[in-house]
Structure 1
Amino acid sequence: MLIKNSLDEMEKREISLKVIKSIIEKKGRDCLYDLTGLSGGFLATQEELDLLETYIGPAIFEEKLQVLGKNHLGGEKIFAVNRTSSGILATILSIVEKDSFVVHFLPEFPAHPSIPRSCALVGANYLEFDDIDKFISIFPDNVSLVIITGSTMDHKILDEKSFKTVIDLANEKNISVLVDDASGARLRTAIFSQKKAIELGADLVVTSTDKLMNGPRGGLMAGKKDLINQIKTKAHQFGLEAQPPSILAMVKGLENYNENDLKKSLNKKDELMELLANDFKMFEKTPTGVMVSEDNLKNEIINHFKKDNTHDYGKILDKFSNKDLCFIWAMLLLKEEGIVTIPAVSMPGASATVRFDLAAVDAERIDVDIIFNKIKNSFESLLSVINDEKLAKDTIFTFD
């Protein structure tokens, strides 16, 4: 196993950032393709940038954010935090009592690690479910908060029926509901025509302003005014609130968001999937692209080794975890092909699924057949690299 802990993941991320900087310096930004779907952006005029002072910035831009945020998410009040995880933490610090339960329903395991980690900080008991019948039958007493994930880290979407069932049960018991709709606030509504979380009856919702929209890495909360005020007060005590530059960038991102941009990715996704299906079995469609899970990548590697009569493939693969394989491939995609995927640059604890998001801004600059060739070339490199454990380790942890 190469990646053993969070420190290893952080080191991997730092190497990736050095590689990205090197590519841009040597070849230019046009030779780098960010297909994470998390690329975000910072759109602003010079006049707006000149207003980014500590107190003037919020005075000017928070009012605009209230209007745009309510239009995007609904709710009585909007609050900007420096990350979605910050909003989740601030909510749990504000609402959840020690020894009480936080019950989380999501379409597919695992949960984003910020949720159980935040519960641990306040000494709360944490339960998570992906089966609605078990959620109903095991629902404990003394629940402080119900959390729903609208779209997982791998873009698995929760159906509206389950959404409503969870919210209705919480409402019956007078328990607040927070929806972690990091990408779901756009995926669910634009691609799956679902209602906004607030419209479905949630008390609170938080979304990521860099996921599938051209905004900064930050979080935007909406919900009932009294709850938002309570969370906002707690967030300011711990420095979890967004700062003026991020607030401006959120305003500009929301102003420029157009759900039709997401819908345009659907045809391109189908074209890429058709090409990939001729050479690979490991790819699955996502709402806006394609992805490869940890298990599917390992199985694909095994199948290729069998075709090549590599009899010692078991001995080769015993050296690596499934996550390692995803990290190695992601680093090869970056170093050799200039494609940025989440496992290369992700924070510790994030999903290792390798995803190619065709709703990303950079996807507009690159043809589907070029993406296919880059995927194919990097996979062939992966098969070669994992034959040498030192070379595999250097691929992740070494910057040339």
Structure 2
Amino acid sequence: MTSDRFGNALDPGVGYARGELLRSSADEVRRLRHAGKLAADFVARNGVERIGVFTGNLRYYPVSLEDVQELCEEWVGPGLFGEDLRKASINHLGGRGHEQATVVNRTSAGIVAAVLALSDGRPVVSLVPSGDRSHASVGRGARLACVPVIEVYEIPELKKVLEARLPSLTIITTVTSELSMLADSVTLQAVRLAKAAKSRVLMDEAYGARFRPVLHDGAPSLSFGADLVITNTDKAGLPGPRAGVLCGEADALVSVAAKASELGMEARAPVAVGAMRSLMAFTPDLLIAEVKDGQLLADALESVFGVGAVTRSPLGPKISEEDAHAHVLKVAGTEYSTRVPAETTAAIGMLMLQTLGIVTVNTHGQPGGRVSLRLKPTAGALKRVGGVSAIAQCLEAAMTETANHLEDADWFSELLFGGT
């Protein structure tokens, strides 16, 4: 597809249409900075205990005072906790015991570093669930490496590309940020095909490392035989901090870790210690609680918008950016707008942040992230913002207010950027 259903050209790098306001990553950074200010203003008025995080990312820092005093020291600390980090990573990802591990400052950083270190001037093959797409970091890493990305969705496609192109790196995304999932049998077959073609395999398990085993009785990440697995430490039942844990075969991992270090993508000791403690403390209970809250919220949104308008995922409801835009157009009584869906959902997110302190990817997501309306409640978030009915009413009001200002570029600019 080259355009959305409203005729707006899609940016192939991010998968959604750019608009007159959110023209680039730079504009999305401006939006992110203003969202930080709006959140700070909300806290000043209502207190931090009223902020509810609905991104699915808790981003706590689960370390003790002793950790800060000893392990977080930059020179000696990594030597003190390095083996514990390795064991915690292997235990979390289901390795055999010989694997090595490192921490990078973001999962995206680890993916970019892997592409740069392992692509070897050849096309990168990216397998994702049908109907979804690779994370933006795959394409960005490939552009930095000056190699193309070949995205495939089914095993026959993968087999054909592996036979024809002989890639040096195959990336398999088992669970996307939209929570589309590959069956374990497909993942296993893909790993075996790629290895037979002499391709390195990186599994993007940002969500999958816990989502599959806990909710779908899936196999541990490292059991599939990939060279490397990477997961987030602030998603799907892990409390944070924001970081990526990379684990796998030593030769591949060292190459990626070296590239990450060259580019300043490695996690420094304090972040690595927090990531280790996050892995050590994991139990399925937090993820299961998030699933329960997500379904309660989906029920509430369906009662307001209708069953067909809301897509359920295990972690909460979603309204696609195009469906949200169509709803706003209907409320506005028009079939056309100079706004694009990404701008519409950004405005809705900002209004919900201002009103109830609801933090979403539409306010705090990184440039290139998904722009659908996704509400993945983290622990305690529903209670902090007043419950599911309050959230549903807030969303409906935000859509109506956006519709009322749909062609007011100054209003949008002030809301998204503070008028700057």
TM-score, structure 1 normalization: 0.92
- Alignment equivalent of 2:78, drawn from 58, 70, 77: 58
AA aligned opposite 1:14: R
Q: 1:29 Cα shift?
A: 0.5
CA distance in 1, matches of 2:337, 2:327: 15
AA aligned opposite 1:221: L
- Alignment equivalent of 2:365, drawn from 346, 353, 372: 346
Q: 1:364 Cα shift?
A: 5.5
CA 130–210 in structure 1, closer or farther in 2 if over 3 Å, else same? same
- Alignment equivalent of 2:325, drawn from 275, 298, 302: 298
Could you give the per-residue CA deviations for residues 334-382 of structure 1, whole angstroms, max 9, x where no partner exists?
1122100002111111110121113445346453233223323323322
AA aligned opposite 1:104: S
**1:76-115 paired onto structure 2 within 5 Å:** 76-98=99-121, 100-107=122-129, 108-115=131-138
Asked if the contact 1:19–1:399 (Cα under 8 Å) also holds between the matched residues in 2, the reply is no
Matching residue of 1:209: 233
Matching residue of 1:381: 401
**1:36-75 paired onto structure 2 within 5 Å:** 36-51=55-70, 52-75=72-95
**1:206-355 paired onto structure 2 within 5 Å:** 206-212=230-236, 213-281=238-306, 282-305=309-332, 310=333, 313-314=334-335, 317-355=336-374
Q: Does the residue aligned with 1:143 lie in a helix, a strand or coil?
A: coil
Q: Which moved more, 1:261-270 or 1:16-25?
A: 261-270
CA 248–11 in structure 1, closer or farther in 2 if over 3 Å, else same? same
Q: 1:195 Cα shift?
A: 1.1
Matching residue of 2:24: 5
- Identity, % of aligned positions: 26
Q: Runs of 5+ in structure 2 lacking a partner?
A: 1-18
Q: Does the residue aligned with 1:146 lie in a helix, a strand or coil?
A: strand
AA aligned opposite 1:93: L
AA aligned opposite 2:191: I
CA 361–189 in structure 1, closer or farther in 2 if over 3 Å, else same? farther
Q: Does the residue aligned with 1:198 lie in a helix, a strand or coil?
A: helix
AA aligned opposite 1:109: D
AA aligned opposite 1:236: S
AA aligned opposite 2:176: T
CA 44–364 in structure 1, closer or farther in 2 if over 3 Å, else same? farther
Could you give the per-residue CA deviations for residues 27-51 of structure 1, whole angstroms, max 9, x where no partner exists?
2101211111123110222222112
CA distance in 2, matches of 1:387, 1:101: 43
- Alignment equivalent of 1:369, drawn from 370, 380, 389: 389
AA aligned opposite 2:315: T
Q: 1:255 Cα shift?
A: 2.5
CA distance in 2, matches of 1:259, 1:14: 33
CA distance in 2, matches of 1:257, 1:370: 31
Q: 1:383 Cα shift?
A: 2.5
Matching residue of 1:391: 411
AA aligned opposite 1:164: L
Matching residue of 2:156: 133
Consecutive aligned runs of 4 or more in structure 1 exceeding 4 Å deviation: none
**1:175-186 paired onto structure 2 within 5 Å:** 175-186=199-210
Could you give the per-residue CA deviations for residues 222-266 of structure 1, whole angstroms, max 9, x where no partner exists?
111222122223322332211011011112212222212212233
CA distance in 1, matches of 2:220, 2:414: 45
Q: Which moved more, 1:49-58 or 1:318-327?
A: 49-58
Q: Does the residue aligned with 1:279 lie in a helix, a strand or coil?
A: helix
Matching residue of 2:6: none
CA distance in 1, matches of 2:402, 2:379: 25
Q: 1:156 Cα shift?
A: 1.3
CA 361–211 in structure 1, closer or farther in 2 if over 3 Å, else same? farther
Q: Does the residue aligned with 2:241 lie in a helix, a strand or coil?
A: coil
CA distance in 1, matches of 2:392, 2:322: 21
The alignment status of 1:170 with 2:190, answered yes or no, reads no
Q: Runs of 5+ in structure 1 lacking a partner?
A: none
CA distance in 2, matches of 1:271, 1:112: 28
Q: Does the residue aligned with 1:357 lie in a helix, a strand or coil?
A: coil
The alignment status of 1:20 with 2:39, answered yes or no, reads yes
CA distance in 2, matches of 1:321, 1:132: 34
Asked if the contact 2:113–2:259 (Cα under 8 Å) also holds between the matched residues in 1, the reply is yes
Instruction: Give the count of matched residue pairs.
Output: 391
CA distance in 2, matches of 1:298, 1:233: 44
Asked if the contact 1:187–1:287 (Cα under 8 Å) also holds between the matched residues in 2, the reply is no
Q: Which moved more, 1:353-362 or 1:200-209?
A: 353-362
AA aligned opposite 2:180: K
Q: Does the residue aligned with 1:222 lie in a helix, a strand or coil?
A: strand
CA distance in 2, matches of 1:267, 1:27: 27
CA distance in 1, matches of 2:261, 2:304: 52
CA 289–6 in structure 1, closer or farther in 2 if over 3 Å, else same? same
